Amino acid sequence: MVESMKLTKESYFILQSKAMSTLWKELSDILDEEIVKAVMFRYGFRSGELMAEHVNAQSTDFFQVMREVLTQSGMGRLVKKRGRVGNRITLEINSSPELMKYEDGWSCHFTRGYLVGFFTTSLEIMRKI
């Protein structure tokens, strides 16, 4: 486990996947679908951003941090594959509770936002080091 993922002064809580589905449904009952998508993405983005700030503050091994955050959160995993030219890292994303079927494929707005927020913030932090 990444040292920074151990218990700290920071408070965390864990939601069952059904709670995210319920949140999606409740928001959908009172808001337009496009607004719900935007809210879930922004909530995911901010959550990923906060996690990146927390875990990257104590580690400079970006790929190890990403691997552990994805695995421990159940969002997915990083797979390193050897190619003819070099190594390639692939992100395999697990399905998530508020996954919705759209004409252009499957999309989870919270997960997408979380990953964008986490990776963007982590890369910004690494660039400053």
Residue where the block lists tokens 């998508």: 37
Q: Is the pLDDT of residue 128 over 60?
A: yes
Q: What rounded mean pLDDT belongs to the chain? A: 77
Tens of pLDDT, residue by residue over 57-95, are 666 677 777 788 777 777 778 777 777 787 777 777 776
E-assigned strands of the chain?
Answer: 76-82, 87-93, 100-102, 105-107
- Note if the pTM is more than 0.75: no
Q: How many CB atoms lie within 10 A of CB 40?
A: 23
Amino acid at 54: H
